[in-house]
Amino acid sequence: MIICGLQKLSLIDYPNKIACTIFAYGCNFRCGFCHNPELVIKAAEGLKTMKIYSEEDILQFLEKRRKYLDGVCITGGEPLQSFQYADLKFFEKIKSLGYLIKIDTNGSFPEKLSEIISKGLVDYIALDLKASKEAYSKIAEFSSSNNSNCITKIEKSIQIISKFKEYEFRTTVLKSFHTEKEVIEMLKWATNVAGEKVKKYCLQGFKKSGKLISSSMEKEPETDEDYLKKLAELVKPYCNSVDIRV
């Protein structure tokens, strides 16, 4: 795994835990609303301008902060893209220091995720559920020739994660795209694939702060709380619990 960022303290990235967050290089998607373009766009250009943290840098930091932090959130980019099976040892070392591990994923790497789960090296998984099956490529911007492969992998991840002890599916809501119909179609698809209701689902409002991948997103309005609440009511039949994050 190639680590390009470390946030030393986060009270929001790992639910109900005090955590640090590490940011991994690269992503196979190009969501226009992505708030981490430096990890996605620059990744396509190479690693020349980025600070890279070694495994040792991170472990030394974690060793010092053991008393103050509960967990490590591993995010990106898409952290599983650059994850190698040799990184299982890195995860083992993090766990041996007493930390919980959360992984944020776009669902494209179910085999890697399965391996991490089978070794007991993750405690919480957050899956970005971006759109209905039919509309997924419009948001994630993978090519139509790659569509069925990407969808198959995301469906596999939905199945794996929905059986995991602690997880959430979450959607960044764009008002121009996530109509009521679209959101219901997305949840119908996810629950059909999982074979059960979503245990925990979060609707996150789109925000314009910071850099975004696509300049077209400058026209997109920020998502208001009332709209998130309306969607939360609509998706309740498909979820055991629904949160909104404004």
Shortest separation between residue 16's beta carbon and ligand SF4, angstroms: 23
Instruction: Establish if 77 lies at the interface with ligand SF4 (CB under 6 A).
Output: yes
- Pick 62 or 80: Cβ nearer ligand SF4: 80
Residues 99-118 within binding reach of ligand SF4 (CB under 6 A): 106
Residue from 2, 22, 24, 31 that binds ligand SF4 (CB under 6 A)? 31
**Considering CB under 6 A, how many residues would be counted as binding ligand SF4?**
12
For residue 22, what is the enclosing H or E element?
A: strand 19-24
- Pick 62 or 155: Cβ nearer ligand SF4: 155
Q: How would you classify the pairing of strands 71-75 and 201-205? A: unpaired
Stretch touching ligand SF4 by CB under 6 A, among 34-42, 50-58, 65-73, 158-166: 34-42
Do 193 and 163 meet the contact criterion of CB atoms below 8 Å apart?
Answer: no
Q: Which residue is nearest to ligand SF4 (CB)?
A: 34
Do 171 and 161 meet the contact criterion of CB atoms below 8 Å apart?
Answer: no
Instruction: Establish if 71 lies at the interface with ligand SF4 (CB under 6 A).
Output: no
CA distances for 239 relative to 13, 134, 204, angstroms: 21, 21, 15
Residue from 1, 3, 24, 27 that binds ligand SF4 (CB under 6 A)? 27
Instruction: Establish if 21 lies at the interface with ligand SF4 (CB under 6 A).
Output: no
Instruction: Establish if 29 lies at the interface with ligand SF4 (CB under 6 A).
Output: yes
Shortest separation between residue 119's beta carbon and ligand SF4, angstroms: 24
Tokens of 42: 């620059």
Instruction: Establish if 36 lies at the interface with ligand SF4 (CB under 6 A).
Output: yes
Residue 84, burial from CB neighbour count under 10 angstroms (0-12, 13-18, 19+)? exposed
Instruction: Establish if 50 lies at the interface with ligand SF4 (CB under 6 A).
Output: no
* Residue among 176, 224, 245 nearest 33 (CA): 176
* Residue among 96, 91, 150, 142 nearest 117 (CA): 91
Interatomic CA distance for residues 230 and 235, integer angstroms: 9
Shortest separation between residue 96's beta carbon and ligand SF4, angstroms: 28
Instruction: Establish if 126 lies at the interface with ligand SF4 (CB under 6 A).
Output: no
Instruction: Establish if 191 lies at the interface with ligand SF4 (CB under 6 A).
Output: no
Do 71 and 245 meet the contact criterion of CB atoms below 8 Å apart?
Answer: no
Interatomic CA distance for residues 60 and 27, integer angstroms: 27
Instruction: Establish if 30 lies at the interface with ligand SF4 (CB under 6 A).
Output: yes
Q: Which residues bind ligand SF4 (CB under 6 A)?
A: 27, 29-31, 34, 36, 40, 76-78, 106, 128
